[in-house]
Amino acid sequence: MKKLYDYQKDEQVNIFLLIKAAAEKVTRTNKPYLAFTFQDTSGEINANYWDVTPEEVEQYRAGIVVKVEGKREEYNGNPQLRIGSIRVAKEDEPSNPDLYVERAPIQKEKMIEAFNKAMFDITNANLNRIVRHIMKKYQRDFFQSPAAKKNHHAFLGGLAYHTVCMLKIAQSLVTIYEDLNASLLYAGIILHDVGKVIELTGPTATEYTLEGKLIGHIVLINNEITKACQELKIDENHEDVLMLKHLVLAHHGELEYGSPVRPQIPEAEMIHYIDQIDAKMNMMQGALRKTEPGEFSERIWAMGNRSFYKKTMEPPIDHHES
């Protein structure tokens, strides 16, 4: 069956899609419409549904699968869907939302293997116990959760995949910068975004929870480290625990990006940049997957609203399965 991004620009579309988001808005002339974000496993696309009725606003909610007929277009350089007709999928049609959720490109088992290897390399006893305690508590949600509502790694298993990629980068860097404390670096990377399992609702129609909106994942994971220390009877004023807390609190790098402190040890600075590298690479890869060779991608708002060029050179070897 044809996926969303199998359709070319100006091609007629006839497809089942998941409503990832549906926001009720009004035009300049005060007429109501729905601003949709649709998705399937190939990606997501925006669409507006004009002259919407109150019944349709109630009917077309996030998490519902719909049958859409229309046309694939572009608006300001970004892909867009012009809706001709839309209806809710019937029970005897592919109406399970799970069929439309994008997934991490490597299997969960391989990600667990990568985590176990990194965990084995956390030789500091306090850090190892804290990380194991928190990961055991949140393991199921951690391997399901996206890393964000949108932008980078916003898919099933995205949080674990983002963390695995960061660990791979860190494992290379500790061989170059031998003064880095590998135990601290790996522990900080594994825990830096675990608060997102509390901050976000899950991979289907992802939204922020009340705790996520009011507290945020950085403070949430700091609180989890405190709880782990209390339950494991570890002194949370011990230097290794303070360093771990500093890593998670500083990983956004700047106060204006949500970190309560800026990095003040090399491992904290390193995690901030590793996080940036992986998030930005994922955003670029996602945009370029939907771009023809020799063309520029849609604009990526989170990267200064830039477009990126898809080279016509030979594609790289796929390293995911290695």
pTM: predicted TM-score of the whole model, two decimal places: 0.82
Could you read off the pLDDT of 157-193 as tens digits, one per residue?
889 999 999 999 999 999 999 999 999 999 999 999 9
Residue 318 has pLDDT above 70, yes or no: no
Q: How confident is the model at residue 319 (pLDDT cuts 50, 70, 90)?
A: low
Measured from the Cβ of residue 106, the count of other Cβ atoms closer than 10 Å reads 17
Instruction: Label residue 39 exposed, middle or buried (CB < 10 Å: 0-12, 13-18, 19+).
Output: buried
Could you read off the pLDDT of 82-124 as tens digits, one per residue?
999 999 999 999 999 888 988 888 898 999 999 999 999 999 9
What local confidence, expressed as pLDDT, does residue 42 receive?
A: 86
Share of the chain above pLDDT 70, in %: 96
3-state SS, residue 84: strand
Please provide the average confidence, as pLDDT, over all residues in the chain: 90
Nearest of 125, 252, 236 to residue 195 by alpha carbon = 252
Per-domain residue ranges of the chain: 4-100, 108-283
3-state SS, residue 36: strand
Mean pLDDT for 233-252 is: 96
Decide if domain 4-100 falls under CATH 2.40.50.140. yes
What local confidence, expressed as pLDDT, does residue 320 receive?
A: 53
d(CA 72, CA 292): 15
Could you read off the pLDDT of 197-234 as tens digits, one per residue?
888 877 666 788 888 889 989 999 999 999 999 999 99
* Residue 100 near residue 40, CB atoms below 8 Å: yes
What local confidence, expressed as pLDDT, does residue 192 receive?
A: 94
What local confidence, expressed as pLDDT, does residue 322 receive?
A: 42
d(CA 296, CA 279): 20
